[in-house]
């Protein structure tokens, strides 16, 4: 069990983007070029850790996401508040095709004025990758240096972007269904991140004997079989987890010894339900914040029947707003 970390502060950096014009309301309008220099892997991970701690100790209000149907799309909303300081939300379209921009807004909690907003696509995947890195630090075998990554989209890239900042990998196997795409992804990882990534021909080949496995797909059907996973492996699942739409199968549940998520509220609120909530013998699901700062894995009753440690990444509500508020603070310093 860790001591709660002191909140981090931003260090000055050279920004390459335009900060946006200041209005009479002192409103900052930021794009991706404005926030990306601030959201380095290390700084994003530190700020996300602060958000998890704030939520764990009751300071960050972080409800599950909500949504409104608009034609064939769904407008989704996540929100958060640190009382007396700020509140805000992120809105985005789902399903998305990579073109739709997202909007994240921070309000001052006392004046009720909008303090700043971000329009773009850079914030959410960096947040998700950083949460994955916090979870890996807390849960994965300490000496493990081989990673299997299933998926080659934006989320998969930002998982790798963040994980490489907390762990030195001797070997990274990459798989997705499109051979050209997985080859390009592995080459990009080698060129941009300096990682020993290589594309392989099947998901089974990718995960066999790998002590760390990350699933980051959009698949509605299982992409791996539990029997392929090495004893004692750490598995992080970033993609779908709902009834009728899930990237892992029910066979995984019997292999789980420790199950952790970043938002118990979100797991409980899924519609259709999260696959974990509909099984006859679901594993006991722990909060990542509780694991970090309350030591719940020390309780024998939280163990499942299997040997795997699994992180169910679902998105802590308000964490994107938390990150944007930290960027705004840094810009005002």
d(C-alpha 53, C-alpha 39), whole Å = 19
Which pair of structure tokens corresponds to residue 137? 């630090």
Q: How many other CB atoms are found less than 10 A from the CB of residue 12?
A: 7
Q: What is the pTM of this model?
A: 0.91
Is the Cβ–Cβ distance between 116 and 106 less than 8 Å?
A: yes
Buried b (16+ CB within 10 A) or exposed e, 245-275: ebbbeeebbebbbbbbbbbbbbbebbeeebb
Q: What is the pLDDT along the chain (333 residues), one digit of tens a residue?
A: 666 666 665 444 333 344 444 444 578 999 999 999 999 999 999 999 999 999 999 999 999 999 998 888 889 999 999 999 999 999 999 876 667 899 999 999 999 999 999 999 999 999 999 999 999 999 999 899 999 999 999 999 999 999 999 999 999 999 999 999 999 999 999 999 999 999 999 999 999 999 999 999 999 999 999 999 999 999 999 999 999 899 999 899 889 999 999 999 999 998 888 888 777 666 788 999 999 998 765 555 667 778 999 999 999 999 999 999 999 999 998
Q: How far is CA 295 from CA 55, 302, 306, in A?
A: 16, 11, 20
The pLDDT of residue 297: 52
Cα within 13 Å of Cα(138), Cβ side: 31
């Amino acid at each position: 069990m860790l001591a709660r970390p002191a909140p981090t502060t931003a260090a000055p950096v050279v920004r390459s983007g335009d900060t946006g014009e200041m209005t009479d309301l002192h409103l900052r309008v930021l794009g991706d070029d404005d926030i990306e220099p601030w959201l380095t892997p290390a700084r994003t991970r530190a700020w996300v850790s602060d958000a998890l701690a704030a939520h764990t100790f009751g300071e960050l209000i972080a409800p599950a996401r909500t949504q409104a149907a608009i034609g064939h799309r769904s407008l989704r909303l996540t929100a958060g508040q640190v009382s007396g300081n700020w509140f805000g939300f992120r809105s985005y379209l789902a399903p998305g095709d990579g073109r739709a921009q997202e909007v994240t807004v921070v309000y001052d909690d006392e004046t009720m004025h909008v303090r700043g907003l971000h329009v773009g696509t850079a914030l959410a995947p960096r947040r998700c990758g950083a949460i994955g890195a916090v979870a890996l630090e807390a849960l994965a075998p300490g000496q493990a240096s081989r990673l299997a990554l299933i998926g080659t989209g934006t989320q998969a890239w930002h998982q790798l972007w963040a994980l490489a900042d907390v762990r030195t990998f001797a070997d990274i196997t990459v798989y997705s269904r499109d051979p050209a795409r997985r080859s390009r992804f592995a080459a990009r990882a080698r060129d941009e991140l300096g990682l020993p990534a290589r594309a392989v021909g099947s998901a089974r080949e990718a995960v066999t004997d790998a002590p760390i496995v990350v699933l980051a797909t959009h698949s509605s059907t299982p992409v791996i079989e539990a029997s392929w996973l090495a004893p004692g492996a750490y598995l992080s699942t970033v993609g779908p987890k709902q009834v009728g739409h899930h990237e892992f199968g029910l066979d995984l549940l019997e292999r789980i010894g420790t199950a952790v998520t970043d938002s118990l509220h979100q797991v409980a609120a899924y519609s259709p339900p999260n696959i974990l909530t509909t099984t006859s013998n679901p594993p006991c699901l722990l909060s990542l914040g509780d694991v970090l700062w309350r030591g719940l894995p020390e309780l024998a009753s939280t163990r499942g029947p299997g040997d795997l440690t699994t992180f169910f990444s679902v998105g802590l509500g308000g964490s994107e707003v938390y990150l944007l508020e930290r960027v705004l603070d840094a810009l005002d310093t």
